[in-house]
Amino acid sequence: MTSASAENNALGPQALSRLVVVIATDRDRQAFTWLYRHYAPRLKSYFLRSGMAGNVAEELAQETMLQVWRKAALFDPAKAGAGTWIFTIARNLRVDYLRHDRIRPSGDGEMPEDEADDAPNGEALLITSEREERLRTALQTLSSEQEAIVRLSFFGDKPHMQIAQELGIPLGTVKSRVRLALAKLRAALDGDK
């Protein structure tokens, strides 16, 4: 083991945090070299374990350390240790890389053939319109209390507890009204077929 690598392994969390502070205040290249020697191999291992190819892992490790150099002034040792801060940068770069890789265009600007056009066609719009009309008609078969609860629960996306509080009724009443309303709606919609 060389003396430089033995020195790197001896660096504790406080010493590593001090190195980042020195980089931020003095732009000290020697401090950055020590930090790089300590974290670059660990970062590369992190990226490799997360499924990145070797060349990508190396590139992201270098990019992380470049961000450390650029953003050292943002480091606050009172909030986190150097390792936590550096690996947060690494994680964010990994997420950005994966996001960019996933949405990269195919090159010719056209939609790939295996991706279907999600825009609804005329037939789908007609079917949806008919279903909505059947549902509106079925909602009219409910009592006003049941209709109010169904609208709050399914269209307002409110939990039963919140509905009970808003309407000033017990939670059990809300649940039973929802259950009865759904049974009526199901019967009305099944009868239309």
- For every residue of 106-124, DSSP letters joined together read -SSSSPPTTSPP-S--HHH
**Residue 37: other Cβ atoms inside 10 A:** 15
Instruction: Give the start-to-end residue ranges of the domains of the chain.
Output: 3-103, 139-191
Collapsed DSSP state (helix, strand, coil) of residue 159: coil
Question: What is the pLDDT, as a whole number, of residue 62?
Answer: 93
Burial of 12 from C-beta contacts in 10 A (0-12 / 13-18 / 19+): exposed
Between residues 3 and 95, the one the model is more confident about: 95
- In words, the CATH class of domain 139-191 is mainly alpha
pLDDT in tens, 15-55: 898 999 999 899 999 999 999 999 999 999 999 988 889 99
- For tokens 């990269």, what's the residue? 104
Q: Amino acid identity, residue 139?
A: L
| pLDDT tens digits along 171-189 | 899 888 888 888 888 888 7
- 100 band by pLDDT with thresholds 50, 70 and 90: confident
Q: Backbone phi, then psi, for 120, in 5-degree steps? A: -70, 145
Residue 18: predicted pLDDT:
92
pLDDT (0 to 100) of residue 140: 83
CA distances from 181 to 136, 163, 187, 190 (A): 13, 15, 10, 14
Task: Give pLDDT, residue 40.
Answer: 93
The predicted pLDDT at position 104 comes to 53
> 21, exposed or middle or buried, with CB in 10 Å at 0-12, 13-18, 19+?
middle
Q: Regarding the domain delimited by 3-103, which CATH topology (the fold level of the hierarchy) does it fall under?
A: Rna Polymerase Sigma Factor; Chain: A (1.10.1740)
Per the CB < 8 A criterion, the answer to whether 112 and 106 are in contact is: yes
Whole-number average pLDDT of the chain: 81
Among 184, 174, 179, which residue's Cα sits nearest to residue 138?
184
Between residues 186 and 111, which one has the greater pLDDT?
A: 186
What are the pLDDT digits (tens) for 138-165? 888 888 888 888 888 877 778 888 888 9
Q: Residue 130 has what pLDDT?
A: 77
